[in-house]
């Protein structure tokens, strides 16, 4: 599954690049995709926040679990991992809702 963007950010961009990466990768390896998270807080771009601890505080609570029955494992796809705050917050939310294993995949590290 891809890291979700807030509806306002999708409206601004017109797409979620992590969705595109997820679709291509899942098609190549045959892994099914699902949507288990929703971004409920439209956070600022984390790359603009220099301090790693401030990024963690800024992203806290930004995601809501929206699945019914959690899978045991999720491959979480993001376009760029800078500090890891987004991946950690998504992982925390998924695990609080019954996902046992969260793996992360990214095309770049910032």
Q: What is the pLDDT of residues 51-84, one digit of tens each?
A: 777 777 778 999 999 978 889 999 999 998 888 8
The mean pLDDT value for 36-54 works out to 81
How far apart CA 34 and CA 102 sit, in angstroms, is 13
Tell whether the model's pLDDT for residue 95 goes beyond 90.
yes
How far apart CA 65 and CA 94 sit, in angstroms, is 7
pTM of the model: 0.88
pLDDT value of position 107:
87
Structure tokens at 33: 């995709």
How far apart CA 49 and CA 55 sit, in angstroms, is 6
The mean pLDDT value for 22-34 works out to 88
Counted residue by residue, the chain has a size of 110
């Amino acid at each position: 599954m891809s890291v979700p963007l807030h509806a306002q950010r999708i409206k601004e961009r017109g797409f979620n690049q992590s969705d595109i990466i997820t679709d291509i990768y899942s098609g190549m390896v045959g892994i099914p995709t699902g949507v288990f998270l929703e971004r409920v807080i439209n956070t600022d771009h984390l790359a603009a926040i220099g301090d790693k601890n401030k990024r963690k505080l800024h992203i806290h609570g930004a995601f809501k679990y929206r699945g019914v029955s959690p899978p045991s494992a999720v491959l979480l796809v993001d376009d760029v991992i800078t500090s890891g705050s987004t991946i950690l917050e998504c992982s925390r939310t998924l695990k609080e809702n019954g996902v046992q294993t969260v793996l992360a995949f990214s095309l770049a590290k910032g």
